[in-house]
């Protein structure tokens, strides 16, 4: 009796699946669907929700100016739940079920790596907004986030300029910090500096007591930190408690932007340094418009940062590329995007290179008590993106099909 | 007569699932395929937990071992001769580590995907059960194991792909994975494997092994004083569950194409258990059903209202355990009891018996 | 003279410095019954624990059939031929009555031999025989958890018997039984003593009387006296211990 | 910085890590020893304590405000623990594995609740001014050693809690009840001890202490919805190593785990130190499956 009932239920499940097929939606006339795939739950939701907001803002703006090719853009929002397998699953859903023409999303390299085969299999296009470790070059992804040579290496140049030659490398234990540090190590040695320590803490780790002891022993000129998220708060708190000030031993962070500074309380990280391709304090007309629009949509207290502006710019470039190509076909769009030429954006002039990564300017800033960065240094013009660092990975080249 | 009816239902079920590629969309088919692969893992959990009373919060470890072993093979077959996987390159390795070569050919990889998790499970289980450590202690140790395993995978990036895990598989056994025809083939292979595992589990549970396992759940010392060595039985059961988990993991990545530490840690491991609890921990068809329902439910809820998923999951845990400890498989029985007149004294006595048993277990824990 | 089946030699068991058994010795011949009595905390159950390997003595040894079993694993001791019924009924509640007996009667108890479906020759017959003996034939397919308290006690005695061990240790087999039930139990034990040896603990003096066997009195971890129940009853020292410390003396 | 200073500094780091672990594990060990219940939502009590300290630090100001925050965390977590015991745990006595799963469900709900109330981003409790700075040695063998006042405070707080719990159990009437129930629940019940109240009190006080741990932790780390999860797995290991229901065993276990971790982290990475710790625990139970401190009980009940 019991097992019979189970079988009925199982059959019912199958029927439901079947219904799902019939319900599969297709784009109506006059609209076109795009996917927005970020973690809205789980550990990465903190960061990714704001990028999703910026992406939606850009879609609103494009729609307000008449849409693309006469069609309104309809975003289909999915949750990657901070789980690479779910990112891959949802990417497949967006492409196959919802029939979106392109997808904006991803944050961690793990999520991008998990989605990559899906986009290649179904010949679709992903716009990826976050700075990353490079070493990847897929024709189905537009990499707008910084390559190592556009964020990390400029920061090192700046440190060397300031005479800081003894560097301590500290990161959360995942791919970006480890690879970034591998590249940094080569360049530090080549530039005549010394790596006096290299340490990793598990993601979400909160105890830095041993690492601070190691830092005190090593006496570096500067700490290069690729710590992620909340670990930063613990690190800076425990650093301060141990009596180490920014003046004595500055920290250069690659994962603290305005959002993080705000949530950590600016007093804690006051005086520390960061390298990005965008700061909210940048003084240009596009940025002012962007900030005003974002605040009017999401509230006065909102702050903006680098990944958000990339999520925003991605949509605008996609729309421009669609117009140029006259089609939503991913192949035509990605070609057109690399042929657009220089575009003004909140982060300065940008354009997609033929390797489908973005030309952009690097900035080094110092955190002020109001939670904003004061720009101390900027690269000479927009830097060409190099997915493979020539020193660390000789002989590797990125060729897009 | 009843047996024949059951058999025909089995056949109808199997047929309905086997024909799924013809009536399901490609996306839903791929979902169904990966959930059927997970159901193999659930059978193993039912074996140890539903029958043996061993709660493991670290099944993700064995599942992950199976998945990683096959993923290593897939990664190797996709390489040009003399090349190394990309993540090794950017982690500073310049040649392939020797133990990776083990999985270069398909047979060792397939055997390894089952044998390695089984061996690890057996080793751990023997070390712990032989010392009479069990119950809550064992659950906590396995949870720590899940945490340590994912931490280790992340920190040994040069050998494991680190936080990103292993992904981007192109071919298996000379076939192109992304070919839709091959996807369908993988689905059928998964279904057939699940059916075989189901029959296998039913067979050993009906043999004396199953009886002894159930007896161990009821009273481990009692069984020991009948001349059986509970540690041996539990170790074998745990190793079997490990093998099923490894097999499940290996099949799963064929559907998903990615394995990463985030899929094997503490939280996924405990989600595996809840799927079994929902279905009914001691019912083999129940746990398959539970796995499908919970995972389809997760897919649906997390699309519709992502922030609700965790709340729904939490409530599910509490409700299943307090209201429906037998899971969905217990509903027919509970319904039948509702409509039948109650037996005298039996019902009111039940909670007290539980209480006494609890006190006895308390004294017995780690005896 | 035949050699003793079981010989407990000078055993001491201590818990946190307190000696639960204090240099106790005991010998048991094949096919004989011995009853252990004594006030609560005298160490009766601990003695059974020590024999079957549940607690390990700090000194002394246990010899069974000429073999030192003091440091053997419990389940090996059982396979060697000692089986025990515990004080609290310990039937396997989700198995049927018959499965309980089958498990106890099984000879192939190693894990690797447990995957065959069939029951080895003799096991089933043995279980059937015991089922009749304990008068539960009508409830053979009922889960053991649904039996009454007395029936559970019987089933557990049945399991011990079905194991066909040479030495059976029974801890309060008649506890909670009605007068008639305990009489039946005593008769059963007497009957079986032609093939097995028994070491029985009980407080119920009427039951002990029916067993009609030599009695050993324990007190504070020591053996106080051995003799017939009549001798024991008439011993003033024992009466003092019981009257002074235990209400149950009134039963005697 | 000389070797002596480094070793002393690391030893102190180990003790300070052990302190938070101990505060977390005390409640677990108590409720496990007395009720045979492991509460998977225990880590979330830490989280609740942290958020309450945050709320308190928003409301009250002044040098003693943090002490108020500590009190609030303790009371709040105690109340929540009592509520949890009455609504969920109580129904599941005697089913320890099911309790594990149900309380995991509770922890998911509490985490989501915190996320909805305070946001997914961590909040910060600013340490009171009198805890700023560190105790520094400038000369002698320990020159260069500096012990942050915050960590000293946490160690002291833990010592106070541990000693008062021990005194409470050894000296008071309620402590007597607790020991009675711990040794033999049925006998205690027969002697007229209200075991329901003892269970409730033990569980609630245990979660209260975890709340205290959360407030203390907030001094050195952010309070996030998942902050408890990072600590609770290690607290479980402490309970396993410490032996069931022994305060002294728990304290020794926490101390050894803290010191071993701090030592291992000097020679290897933090991740590998974590893995090493688990291996050591499994090796340890080969030798002492009952934990560091275990009283052999005469009451050997059999199922």
Answer yes or no: is pLDDT of B364 > 60. Answer: no
Contact with chain B for residue A44, Cβ under 8 A: no
Residues in B closer than 8 angstroms to C86, CB to CB, are 222, 225
Token pair 């893995």: residue: D275
CA distance C158 to chain B (A): 12
Chain D residue nearest residue A244, CA to CA: D133
- For testing contact with chain B, the best of A1, A2, A395 (most B CBs within 10 A): A2
Contact with chain D for residue A152, Cβ under 8 A: no
Q: How many domains does chain C have?
A: 1
- The two tokens of residue A74 are 């309809």
Question: Is A165 within a domain?
Answer: yes
Tell me the sheet residues that pair with A77. A36
* Touch criterion met for B and C (3+ Cβ pairs within 8 Å): yes
Residues in A closer than 8 angstroms to B25, CB to CB, are 20-21, 24, 96-97
Which chains are adjacent to chain C, needing at least 3 Cβ pairs under 8 Å?
A: B, D
Distance (Å) of CA A339 to CA A69, A356, D221:
18, 10, 48
Helices then strands, each counted (H, E), chain D: 11, 2
Contact with chain D for residue C22, Cβ under 8 A: no
Question: Is C101 within a domain?
Answer: no
H/E run at residue A47: helix A45-64
What's the pLDDT tens digit per position in B120-152? Answer: 999 999 999 988 888 888 999 999 999 999 999
| The predicted structure's pLDDT at residue B1 | 53
Contact between D235 and D42 under an 8 Å Cβ cutoff? The reply is yes
The C-alpha atoms of residue C150 and residue C177 are separated, in whole angstroms, by: 6
Band (B341; pLDDT cuts 50, 70, 90): low
**Chain B neighbours among C 97-156 (CB < 8 Å)?**
99, 102-104, 106, 109-112, 114-117, 119, 145-146
H/E run at residue A321: helix A306-325
Contact with chain A for residue D113, Cβ under 8 A: no
Rg (alpha carbons) of chain B, rounded to whole number: 22
Answer yes or no: is pLDDT of B353 > 60. Answer: no
What's the pLDDT tens digit per position in C198-236? Answer: 999 988 888 998 998 999 999 888 888 888 888 888 888
Rg (alpha carbons) of chain C, rounded to whole number: 18
Question: Is B4 within a domain?
Answer: no
Question: Is A54 within a domain?
Answer: no
Residues in D closer than 8 angstroms to C55, CB to CB, are 300
> Do strands A348-352 and A358-359 pair parallel, antiparallel, or not at all (unpaired)?
antiparallel
Question: Is C149 within a domain?
Answer: no
Which chains are adjacent to chain D, needing at least 3 Cβ pairs under 8 Å?
A: A, B, C
Of residues D128 and B165, more confidence is placed in: B165
Residues in D closer than 8 angstroms to A48, CB to CB, are none
Q: How many domains does chain B have?
A: 1
Chain D residue nearest residue B276, CA to CA: D101
| The predicted structure's pLDDT at residue A167 | 96
What's the pLDDT tens digit per position in B28-57? Answer: 998 999 999 999 999 999 999 999 999 999
Contact with chain D for residue C54, Cβ under 8 A: yes
Least-confidence region, from A345-354, B352-361, D88-97, D276-285:
B352-361
The C-alpha atoms of residue C161 and residue C134 are separated, in whole angstroms, by: 10
| The predicted structure's pLDDT at residue B356 | 36
| The predicted structure's pLDDT at residue B146 | 94
SS3 (DSSP) at A127:
strand
Q: What range defines the domain where residue A244 resides?
A: 149-276
Band (C39; pLDDT cuts 50, 70, 90): confident
Contact with chain D for residue B363, Cβ under 8 A: yes
Q: What is the mean pLDDT of chain D?
A: 88
Residues in A closer than 8 angstroms to D126, CB to CB, are 265, 267
Residuewise pLDDT in 10s, chain A (401 residues): 444 455 555 555 444 444 444 444 444 578 999 999 998 877 777 788 899 999 999 999 999 999 999 999 999 999 988 888 889 989 999 999 999 999 999 999 999 999 999 999 899 999 999 999 999 999 999 999 999 999 999 999 999 999 999 999 999 988 899 999 999 999 999 999 999 999 999 888 888 999 999 999 999 999 999 998 778 888 998 998 888 889 989 999 998 999 888 877 778 889 999 999 999 999 999 999 999 999 999 999 899 999 999 999 999 999 999 999 999 999 999 999 999 999 999 999 999 999 999 999 999 999 999 999 999 999 999 999 999 999 998 888 888 87
Distance (Å) of CA D137 to CA A240, A248, D142, D220:
17, 19, 6, 22
**Beta carbon pairs, B and D, within 8 Å:** 165
Residues in A closer than 8 angstroms to B15, CB to CB, are none
Residues in C closer than 8 angstroms to B204, CB to CB, are 115
| The predicted structure's pLDDT at residue A163 | 94
Residues 6+ apart with CB under 8 A from A146: A131, A132, A276, A277, A358, A360, A362, A385
Question: Is C121 within a domain?
Answer: no
> Do strands C67-68 and C59-64 pair parallel, antiparallel, or not at all (unpaired)?
antiparallel
Contact with chain D for residue A204, Cβ under 8 A: yes
Band (C244; pLDDT cuts 50, 70, 90): low
Write the ipTM: 0.88
| Dihedral angle computed from the Cα positions of residues A82, A83, A84 and A88, in that order, rounded to the nearest 10 degrees | -100
Is D298 in Cβ contact with C46 (below 8 Å)? yes
Contact between D220 and A237 under an 8 Å Cβ cutoff? The reply is yes
CA distance D4 to chain C (A): 40
Is A118 in Cβ contact with B24 (below 8 Å)? no
The C-alpha atoms of residue D242 and residue D291 are separated, in whole angstroms, by: 5
Token pair 């009922």: residue: C142
Domain definitions of chain D by residue range: 3-228
CA distance B132 to chain A (A): 32
Other C-beta atoms closer than 10 Å to the C-beta of A391 total 12
Among A201, A233, A238, the residue with its CB nearest the CB of D122 is A233
| The predicted structure's pLDDT at residue A19 | 44
What's the pLDDT tens digit per position in B197-219? Answer: 999 999 999 998 999 999 999 88
The C-alpha atoms of residue C27 and residue B169 are separated, in whole angstroms, by: 72
Of A40-54, B169-183, B251-265, D138-152, which has the strongest mean pLDDT? B251-265
Question: Which residue, D221, D227, D132, is CA-closest to A233?
Answer: D221
Q: What range defines the domain where residue B169 resides?
A: 29-364
Question: Is B13 within a domain?
Answer: no
Residues in A closer than 8 angstroms to D267, CB to CB, are none
**Chain D neighbours among B 62-121 (CB < 8 Å)?**
none
Chain D residue nearest residue B140, CA to CA: D236
Is D16 in Cβ contact with A206 (below 8 Å)? no
Question: Which residue, B104, B38, B98, B119, is CA-closest to B74?
Answer: B104
Task: Determine the average pLDDT of the residues in C144-160.
Answer: 89
Distance (Å) of CA C180 to CA C158, C177, C210, D105:
18, 8, 12, 52
Contact between C169 and C51 under an 8 Å Cβ cutoff? The reply is yes
Question: Is C127 within a domain?
Answer: no
Is D270 in Cβ contact with A200 (below 8 Å)? yes
- For testing contact with chain B, the best of C109, C113, C156 (most B CBs within 10 A): C109
Contact with chain B for residue A26, Cβ under 8 A: no
Question: Is A122 within a domain?
Answer: no
* Touch criterion met for C and A (3+ Cβ pairs within 8 Å): no
| The predicted structure's pLDDT at residue C239 | 79
Contact with chain B for residue A78, Cβ under 8 A: yes
What's the pLDDT tens digit per position in D165-213? Answer: 999 998 998 889 988 888 888 888 888 888 899 999 999 999 999 999 9
Band (C249; pLDDT cuts 50, 70, 90): very low
Is C111 in Cβ contact with B209 (below 8 Å)? yes
Q: What range defines the domain where residue C184 resides?
A: 6-90+165-251
Residues in C closer than 8 angstroms to D303, CB to CB, are 90
For residue A157, give the CATH number of its domain: 3.40.50.2300
Answer yes or no: is pLDDT of B10 > 90. Answer: no
Contact between A111 and A145 under an 8 Å Cβ cutoff? The reply is no
SS3 (DSSP) at B264:
coil
**Chain A neighbours among B 81-120 (CB < 8 Å)?**
86-87, 89-92
- For testing contact with chain B, the best of C49, C56, C92, C105 (most B CBs within 10 A): C92
Contact with chain D for residue A245, Cβ under 8 A: no
Residues in B closer than 8 angstroms to C83, CB to CB, are 225-227
| The predicted structure's pLDDT at residue A103 | 97
Band (B315; pLDDT cuts 50, 70, 90): very high
* Cα angle, residue D94 at apex, residues D90 and D97 outer, rounded to 5°: 95
Question: Is A292 within a domain?
Answer: no
What's the pLDDT tens digit per position in D232-275? Answer: 889 999 998 998 768 899 999 999 999 999 999 988 888 899 89
Answer yes or no: is pLDDT of B92 > 90. Answer: no
The C-alpha atoms of residue B26 and residue B183 are separated, in whole angstroms, by: 9
Residues in C closer than 8 angstroms to D293, CB to CB, are none
**Chain B neighbours among C 62-91 (CB < 8 Å)?**
73-75, 78-79, 83-84, 86, 88, 90-91
Chain A residue nearest residue D265, CA to CA: A210
Is B124 in Cβ contact with D275 (below 8 Å)? no
Task: Determine the average pLDDT of the residues in D56-60.
Answer: 88
Question: Is C210 within a domain?
Answer: yes
């Amino acid at each position: 009796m019991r097992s019979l009932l189970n079988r009925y239920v199982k059959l019912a499940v199958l029927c439901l699946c079947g219904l799902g097929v019939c319900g599969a939606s297709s784009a109506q006339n006059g609209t076109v669907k795009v996917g927005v795939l970020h973690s809205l739950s789980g550990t990465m939701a903190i960061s990714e929700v704001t990028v999703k907001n910026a992406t939606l803002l850009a879609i609103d703006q494009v729609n307000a100016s008449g849409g693309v090719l006469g069609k309104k853009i309809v975003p289909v929002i999915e949750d990657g739940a901070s789980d690479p397998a779910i990112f891959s699953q949802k990417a497949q859903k967006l492409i196959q079920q919802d029939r979106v023409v392109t997808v904006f999303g991803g944050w961690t390299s793990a999520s991008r790596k998990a989605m990559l085969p899906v986009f290649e299999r179904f010949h679709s296009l992903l716009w990826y907004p976050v700075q990353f470790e490079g070493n990847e070059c897929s024709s189905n992804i537009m990499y707008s986030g910084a390559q190592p040579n556009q964020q990390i290496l400029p920061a090192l140049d700046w440190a060397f300029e300031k005479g800081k030659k003894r560097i301590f490398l500290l990161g959360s234990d995942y791919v970006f910090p480890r690879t970034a540090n591998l590249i940094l190590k080569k360049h530090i040695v080549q530039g005549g500096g010394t790596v006096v320590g290299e340490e990793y803490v598990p993601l979400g780790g909160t105890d830095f007591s041993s690492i601070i002891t190691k830092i005190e022993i090593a006496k570096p000129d500067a700490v290069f930190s690729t710590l992620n998220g909340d670990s930063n708060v613990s690190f800076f708190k425990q650093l301060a408690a141990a009596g180490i000030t920014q003046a004595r031993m500055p920290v250069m962070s690659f994962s603290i932007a305005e959002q993080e500074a705000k949530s950590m309380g600016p007093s804690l990280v006051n005086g520390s340094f960061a390298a990005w391709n965008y700061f909210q304090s940048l003084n240009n007309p596009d940025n002012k418009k962007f900030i005003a629009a974002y605040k009017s949509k999401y509230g006065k207290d909102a702050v903006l940062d680098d990944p958000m502006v990339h999520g925003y710019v991605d949509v605008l470039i996609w729309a421009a590329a669609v117009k140029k190509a006259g089609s939503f076909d991913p192949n035509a769009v990605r070609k057109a995007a690399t042929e657009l030429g220089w575009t003004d954006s909140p982060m300065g002039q940008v354009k997609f290179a033929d390797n489908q990564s973005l030309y952009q300017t690097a900035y080094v800033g110092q955190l002020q008590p109001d939670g904003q960065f004061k720009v101390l240094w900027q690269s000479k013009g927009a830097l060409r993106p190099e997915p493979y660092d020539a020193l660390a990975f000789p002989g590797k080249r990125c060729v897009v099909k | 007569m009843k047996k024949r009816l059951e058999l025909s239902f089995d056949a109808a079920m199997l047929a309905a699932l086997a024909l799924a590629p013809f009536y399901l969309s490609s996306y839903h088919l791929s979902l169904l395929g990966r959930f059927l692969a997970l159901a193999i893992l659930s059978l193993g959990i039912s074996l140890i937990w539903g029958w043996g009373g061993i709660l493991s919060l670290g099944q993700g470890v064995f599942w992950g071992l199976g998945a990683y072993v096959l993923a290593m093979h897939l990664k190797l077959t996709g390489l040009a001769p003399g090349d190394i996987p990309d993540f090794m390159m950017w982690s500073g390795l310049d040649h392939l580590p020797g133990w990776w070569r083990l999985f270069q050919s398909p047979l060792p990889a397939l055997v390894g995907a089952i044998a390695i998790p089984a061996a690890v499970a057996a080793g751990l289980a023997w070390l712990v059960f032989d010392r009479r450590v069990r119950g809550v202690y064992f659950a906590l140790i396995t949870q720590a194991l899940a945490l340590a395993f994912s931490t280790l995978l992340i920190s040994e990036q040069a050998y494991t792909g680190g936080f990103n895990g292993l992904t981007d598989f192109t071919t298996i056994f000379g076939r192109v994975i992304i070919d839709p025809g091959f996807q369908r083939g993988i689905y059928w292979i998964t279904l057939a494997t699940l059916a075989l595992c189901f029959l296998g589990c039913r067979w050993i549970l009906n043999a004396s092994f199953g009886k002894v396992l159930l007896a161990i759940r009821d009273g481990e010392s009692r069984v020991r004083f009948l001349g059986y060595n509970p540690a041996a039985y539990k170790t074998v059961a745990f190793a079997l569950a490990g093998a099923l988990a490894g097999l499940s993991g290996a099949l799963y990545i064929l559907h998903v194409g990615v394995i990463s530490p985030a899929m094997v840690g503490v939280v996924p491991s405990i989600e595996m258990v809840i799927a079994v609890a929902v279905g009914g921990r001691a019912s083999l068809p129940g746990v398959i059903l539970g796995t499908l329902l919970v995972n389809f439910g997760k897919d649906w809820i997390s699309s519709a209202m992502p922030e609700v998923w965790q709340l729904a999951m939490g409530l599910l845990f509490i409700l299943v355990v307090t209201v429906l400890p037998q899971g969905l498989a217990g509903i027919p029985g509970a319904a039948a009891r509702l409509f039948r007149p109650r037996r005298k004294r039996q019902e009111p006595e039940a909670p007290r018996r539980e209480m006494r048993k609890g006190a006895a277990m308390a004294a017995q824990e780690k005896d | 003279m035949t050699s003793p089946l079981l010989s407990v030699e000078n055993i001491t068991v201590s818990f946190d410095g307190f000696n639960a058994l204090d240099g106790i010795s005991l010998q048991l011949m094949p096919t004989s019954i011995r009853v252990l009595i004594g006030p609560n905390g005298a160490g009766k159950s601990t003695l059974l624990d020590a024999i079957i390997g549940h607690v390990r003595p700090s000194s002394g040894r246990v010899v069974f059939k000429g073999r030192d079993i003091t440091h053997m694993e419990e389940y090996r001791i059982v396979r060697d031929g000692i089986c025990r019924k515990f004080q609290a009924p310990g039937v396997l509640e989700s198995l049927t009555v018959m499965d309980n007996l089958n498990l106890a009667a099984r000879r192939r108890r190693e894990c690797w031999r447990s995957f065959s479906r069939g029951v080895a020759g003799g096991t089933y017959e043995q279980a059937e025989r015991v089922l009749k003996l304990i008068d539960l034939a009508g409830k053979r397919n009922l889960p053991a958890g649904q039996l009454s308290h007395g029936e559970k006690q019987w089933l557990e005695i049945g399991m011990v018997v079905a194991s066909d061990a040479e030495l059976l240790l029974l801890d309060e087999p008649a506890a909670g039984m009605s007068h008639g039930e305990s009489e039946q139990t005593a008769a059963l034990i007497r009957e079986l003593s032609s093939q097995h040896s028994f070491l029985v603990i009980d407080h119920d003096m009427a039951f002990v009387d029916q067993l009609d066997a030599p009695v050993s009195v324990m007190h504070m971890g020591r053996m106080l006296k051995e003799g017939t129940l009549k001798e024991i009853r008439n011993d003033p020292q024992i009466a003092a211990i019981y009257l002074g410390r235990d209400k149950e003396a009134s039963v005697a | 910085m000389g070797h002596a200073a480094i070793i002393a500094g690391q030893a102190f780091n180990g003790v300070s890590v052990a302190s938070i672990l101990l505060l977390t594990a005390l409640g677990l060990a108590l409720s496990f020893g007395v009720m045979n219940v492991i509460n998977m939502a225990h880590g979330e009590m830490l989280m609740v304590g942290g958020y309450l300290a945050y709320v308190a630090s928003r409301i009250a100001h002044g040098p003693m405000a943090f002490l108020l925050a500590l009190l609030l965390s303790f009371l709040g977590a105690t109340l929540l623990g009592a509520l949890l015991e009455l609504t969920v745990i109580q129904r599941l006595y005697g089913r320890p594995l099911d309790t594990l799963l149900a309380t995991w469900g509770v922890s998911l709900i509490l985490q989501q609740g915190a996320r909805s109330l305070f946001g997914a981003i961590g909040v910060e409790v600013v340490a009171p001014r009198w805890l700023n700075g560190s105790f520094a040695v400038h000369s002698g063998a320990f020159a260069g050693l500096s012990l942050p006042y915050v960590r000293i405070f946490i160690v002291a707080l833990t010592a106070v809690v541990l000693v008062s719990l021990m005194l409470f159990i050894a000296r008071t009437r309620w402590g007597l009840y607790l020991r009675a129930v711990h040794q033999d629940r049925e006998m205690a019940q027969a002697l007229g001890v209200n075991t329901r109240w003892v269970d409730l009190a033990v569980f609630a006080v245990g979660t209260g202490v975890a709340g205290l741990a959360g407030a203390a932790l907030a001094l050195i780390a952010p309070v996030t919805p998942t902050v408890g999860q990072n600590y609770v797995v290690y607290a479980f290991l402490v309970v396993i190593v410490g032996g069931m229901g022994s305060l002294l065993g728990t304290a020794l276990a926490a101390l050894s785990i803290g010191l071993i971790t701090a030592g291992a982290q000097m020679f290897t990475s933090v991740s590998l130190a974590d893995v090493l710790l688990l291996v050591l625990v499994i090796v340890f139970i080969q030798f002492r499956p009952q934990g560091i401190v275990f009283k052999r009980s005469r009451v050997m009940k059999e199922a």
